[in-house]
Chain A
Amino acid sequence: GQQLNQSPQSMFIQEGEDVSMNCTSSSIFNTWLWYKQEPGEGPVLLIALYKAGELTSNGRLTAQFGITRKDSFLNISASIPSDVGIYFCAGQNYGGSQGNLIFGKGTKLSVKP
Chain B
Amino acid sequence: NAGVTQTPKFQVLKTGQSMTLQCAQDMNHNSMYWYRQDPGMGLRLIYYSASEGTTDKGEVPNGYNVSRLNKREFSLRLESAAPSQTSVYFCASSNRQGNLYGYTFGSGTRLTVV
Contacts and interface: CB of A to CB of B under 8 A. Distances in A.
Contacts of B103: 43, 45, 101
Contacts of B45: 100
Given A88-B43, A99-B100, 9 more contacts: A40-B107, A42-B108, A43-B90, A43-B105, A48-B100, A100-B48, A101-B100, A103-B43, A105-B40
A1 interface: yes
Interface in A28-59: 31, 33, 40-45, 48, 50
Interface in B100-114: 100-108
A9 B40 CA distance: 8
A92 interface: yes
17 contacts: A9-B40, A33-B102, A41-B107, A43-B90, A43-B105, A45-B102, A45-B103, A50-B99, A94-B98, A97-B56, A99-B96, A100-B48, A100-B58, A101-B100, A103-B42, A103-B43, A104-B42
A45 B45 CA distance: 17
B57 to A, nearest CB: 9
Contacts of B105: 42-44
Interface of A: 1, 6, 9, 31, 33, 40-45, 48, 50, 88, 92, 94, 97, 99-101, 103-106
B41 interface: yes
A106 B42 contact: yes
Contacts of A42: 4, 90, 92, 105-108
